[in-house]
Structure 1
Amino acid sequence: MPHFEKMLYDQAMIAMAYTEAYQATGKEEYRETGQEIFTYVLRDMTAPDGGFYSGEDADSEGEEGKFYVWTEEEIRQILSADEAHLVLKLFNVEKGGNFTEEATGRKTGTNILHLDQGLDEVVSDPEKSEKELWVSLEEARAKLFMAREKRIHPHKDDKILVDWNGLMIAALAKGARVFGEMRYAEAAQQATDFILSHLQRPDGRLFHRYRDGEAAVNGLLDDYAFFIWGLIELYETTFETRYLETALQLNDDGLRHFWDDGGDGFFLSPDDGETILVRKKEIYDGAIPSGNSVAALNLLRLGRITGNADFEERAMKIGRAFSAMVNQSPSAFTQFMMALDFGIGPSHEVIIAGDSAARDTRAMLKALREEFVPNKIVILRPTDVESPDIFRFADYTRYQTSIDGKATAYVCLNYKCEFPTTDVGKMLELLNVRN
């Protein structure tokens, strides 16, 4: 059974996992789960000004999980007989409860509603189609949700942390692309605006946390790395270059104040932080990825976007600095391995040259977003603007023009570009996507 505490970083990481799982498999259950996580975050974890809260406690009224568990009798009182039959069977509700005390193992008489089989495997009704059963299920869930809202809610940890917000911004931006839900992108943009207006110092560097109108604690490596990750994802979702510009500025700050010139890699604390005996480096990818692992992938992606070879060389230095440790226990460094996979390749650069609002441009971008091709960067080179902003950051794109006024894809592998194409199918073929 799951723990009842809800942390923002957990919601972000698992939402990204379900988003990518749906992209890779097309399974509707993954899409539904991913979107329900986002619904929860937007409803319960979002501050009025746009930032995301840190978490919700496990207990309420002195009992762990009380807000979330149900008795069979409660369900029967709230739902109709048919709805109750459906819910009790599908969500594994037991008369004596399925939730046990952690210390004693004794059943509490309450239930955690959970699925272990699909609707079609559990319930059959000759008088209702599967679609009608799904409608009944959603109506029942809505009733249970409204009843649960009347309970005393768990305490909310209303700190707003830059690093954890960066993870959720990345998750929402990715979700917006894959699920076609622009409200996710809007939420990510609002959180980004909140951080830049409330948690950025006058010199452009970051604070770590915000609460009750006060920003405090100078930012650590994770704040920079995770927020830059979110900004890169937000650029690839909206193609607004302000996010790319901010990512590059913060990346420069990170290199200036956290990079170890003597041994490579990033320190956790800045060079002008509190005086300590040893400035440590983190590389272990645990409940959240390490700042070095995320920063390495950021450097690779920013290097591919801008053509700045120094960024990629820095990422390779991180790889070499920690290679012995990673070789001993690769499974403890999963985010690091993702960066390594991108760096070793194959990895692609995809530049779409076309009118930003044109149907054929949108079709190319949609096709890219529907396929799981993780090791790539995507740039939009607008042709409806005489000198688009992207030229300031990726000068090489000025030479990648559209063919006969049509949306044109330039698919490159480690900077070596194939002949441009106006055909969506050919573009996917060049990316080794098998339909």
Structure 2
Amino acid sequence: METYSNRLANEKSPYLLQHAHNPVNWYPWGEEAFEAAAKEKKLIFLSIGYSTCHWCHVMERESFTDKEVADAMNETFISIKVDREERPDIDDIYMTVCQMTLGGGGWPLNVILTPDRRPVFALTYMPKESRRGMMGILELCSNLKELWSNDREGVEKRANEIMVNLEGYARKTRTGEIGKDVFQNAFQGFLDSFDDANGGFGTSPKFPTPHNLMYLTRYYRRTGEERSLQMVTKTLEKMRNGGIFDQIGFGFHRYSTDAAWVVPHFEKMIYDQALLIMAYSEAYQATRNNFYSKVATEIFEFVKRELTDPEGGFYSALDADSEGMEGKFYTWTAAELRSVLDEYSYQIFSDYFNVIDTGNFVEESTGRRTGRNLLTVNYNMEQFARDRNIKKKDLERILEDSRKKLLAFREKRIRPHLDDKVLADMNGLMIAALSYAGRTLKNSEMVESAKKSAEFILHNMLSDNGNLYHRYRDGNVAIDGFLDDYSFMIYGLLELYESTMNP
């Protein structure tokens, strides 16, 4: 089998390294790529994603590893790969273009640029061949090669129009005083879109949006509006019991593909864990219900076990895929569960978590049953125990013993890819979350973990003149800090000071 290597092989980003042996002649973002585009008078194919993105993996498997596609791309474009987590500034500009031109966006984000970096077209995922009204990348290459050769003036005109619209978008501002009606209107907007059956807002896909839940918790504390708190508690409980939560290893997956929080996209991001620790901690503070403090602690247990560098920094994410299949690491056949648990424990566990012999997990893209089970909870624990004539404490013991056995079994599987880069902004957010939660829940281990991360950043990610770097990986720091890096680190350090009173 022929092997390839391109310019990404010298990069540190896990995402860029995933594409380092594609037959596509990828460049990292930089002057070498732009000079090549100018010299060869070629359009630029800019592809932006991140290492734990499921649809980025799908597009790589279908297209970027395919020699036919690579030949077409290499002939038509200068191709550039960007890790959106390393370069959020680049991602922000071109995602804005995508949202302006398509009305939405996502990753992988693929943008066609003129040699001087002006955007012409924006697309997200594309298959190799056109299908069901979706343009394939081979057709795209053919069409753009012809368009650039025969109507360059038209392409330049479109690029100029997009730039004018982009500049106008950037200049948009709103002025005026913020009155009480702003907060009331925000509450009403959430109320109008609230899903009374499943919690959350809208239909599907559903993201946890913990910042919205924190707003509603604070709105309740300010106004006493019970409906505001009810939206929060309903959503937090439904999410914890759904497939979006890892019932064995804890931590939240990225989002749910359905309205009921059952089938997730399985990647786990550090920023989601941080914001959800905050949301559950604030819910505990508002209700004094130990359910919410327990979930915040469970998320921390996952972060501590799987997303923490030995020196204290927090990693970026865990992939959705393993062994070429999304969610395989997190789902179970009934036979696997039986092989780990005794028969009585299996019966209790399988009933509680909705396990069936034929599997309940349906693959989102094909609608095909996989024979595997996604663990979800539809029961009130007290009622479940009564219905089976079990004491609640005995049920809790059986479920927890089973969970630990299954976690130990799962650790032997081929693991999803870990994106082990340490980002200053996301570490600042987690420092803030753990400092606040540790203070609120009286959990000193959370505060200590926040302190270790702060010490890691301050020791490893500051320049000689005291400026922040954005990214650390394998002993290498790079990329000058962005506004988010400074703001989130300041936020984290202030929260840490409140928890330690150590200046």
Q: TM-score, normalised by structure 2?
A: 0.47
Q: Does the 8 Å CA contact 2:428/2:489 hold for their aligned counterparts?
A: yes
Correspondence 1:124 to 2:124: no
Correspondence 1:96 to 2:96: no
Correspondence 1:43 to 2:325: no
Q: 1:16 matched to which residue of 2?
A: 278
Output the amino acid matched with 1:45.
Answer: L
Return the match for 1:173 from 429, 435, 455. Answer: 435
Counting aligned pairs with the same residue, the percent is 50
Question: Gaps spanning 5+ residues in structure 2: where?
Answer: 1-262
- Structure 2 counterpart SS, 1:158: strand
Question: Gaps spanning 5+ residues in structure 1: where?
Answer: 242-435
Distance 1:87 1:178 in 2: 32
- Structure 2 counterpart SS, 1:30: helix
> Cα 1:228–1:116, aligned 2, differ >3 Å: closer, same or farther?
farther
- Structure 2 counterpart SS, 1:86: helix
- Structure 2 counterpart SS, 1:159: strand
Q: 1:234 matched to which residue of 2?
A: 496
Correspondence 1:72 to 2:350: no
Q: Does the 8 Å CA contact 1:89/1:122 hold for their aligned counterparts?
A: no
Q: 2:198 matched to which residue of 1?
A: none
Return the match for 2:487 from 194, 202, 225. Answer: 225
Q: Describe how 1:140-289 pairs up with structure 2 within 5 A.
A: 140-241=402-503
Q: Does the 8 Å CA contact 2:385/2:392 hold for their aligned counterparts?
A: no
- Structure 1 counterpart SS, 2:330: coil
1:185 shift after superposition? 0.7
1:116 shift after superposition? 2.8
- Structure 2 counterpart SS, 1:160: strand
User: Superposition RMSD on alpha carbons, in Å?
Assistant: 1.3
After superposition, give the CA deviation of every residue in 1:306-341 in whole Å (9 maximum; x if it has no partner). xxxxxxxxxxxxxxxxxxxxxxxxxxxxxxxxxxxx
Q: Does the 8 Å CA contact 1:47/1:53 hold for their aligned counterparts?
A: yes
Distance 1:31 1:98 in 2: 30
Q: 1:254 matched to which residue of 2?
A: none
Write out the 4+ residue segments of structure 1 that deviate beyond 4 Å after TM superposition.
none
Distance 1:201 1:93 in 2: 53
Distance 1:29 1:97 in 2: 29
Output the amino acid matched with 2:334.
Answer: E
Q: TM-score, normalised by structure 1?
A: 0.54
1:74 shift after superposition? 1.2
1:27 shift after superposition? 2.3
Distance 2:354 2:417 in 1: 28
Q: Describe how 1:304-323 pairs up with structure 2 within 5 A.
A: none
1:99 shift after superposition? 1.4
After superposition, give the CA deviation of every residue in 1:40-70 in whole Å (9 maximum; x if it has no partner). 0011100011100000100111111111101
Distance 1:197 1:12 in 2: 22
Q: 1:110 matched to which residue of 2?
A: 372
1:126 shift after superposition? 6.5
1:118 shift after superposition? 2.2
> Cα 1:111–1:126, aligned 2, differ >3 Å: closer, same or farther?
closer
Distance 2:500 2:264 in 1: 35
Distance 1:198 1:217 in 2: 13
After superposition, give the CA deviation of every residue in 1:9-39 in whole Å (9 maximum; x if it has no partner). 1111111111111121122222221111000
Correspondence 1:52 to 2:303: no
Correspondence 1:62 to 2:355: no
Q: Does the 8 Å CA contact 2:277/2:433 hold for their aligned counterparts?
A: yes
Output the amino acid matched with 2:315.
Answer: Y
After superposition, give the CA deviation of every residue in 1:247-306 in whole Å (9 maximum; x if it has no partner). xxxxxxxxxxxxxxxxxxxxxxxxxxxxxxxxxxxxxxxxxxxxxxxxxxxxxxxxxxxx
Q: Does the 8 Å CA contact 1:90/1:123 hold for their aligned counterparts?
A: no
Output the amino acid matched with 2:446.
Answer: Y
- Structure 2 counterpart SS, 1:100: coil
**How many aligned residue pairs are there?**
241
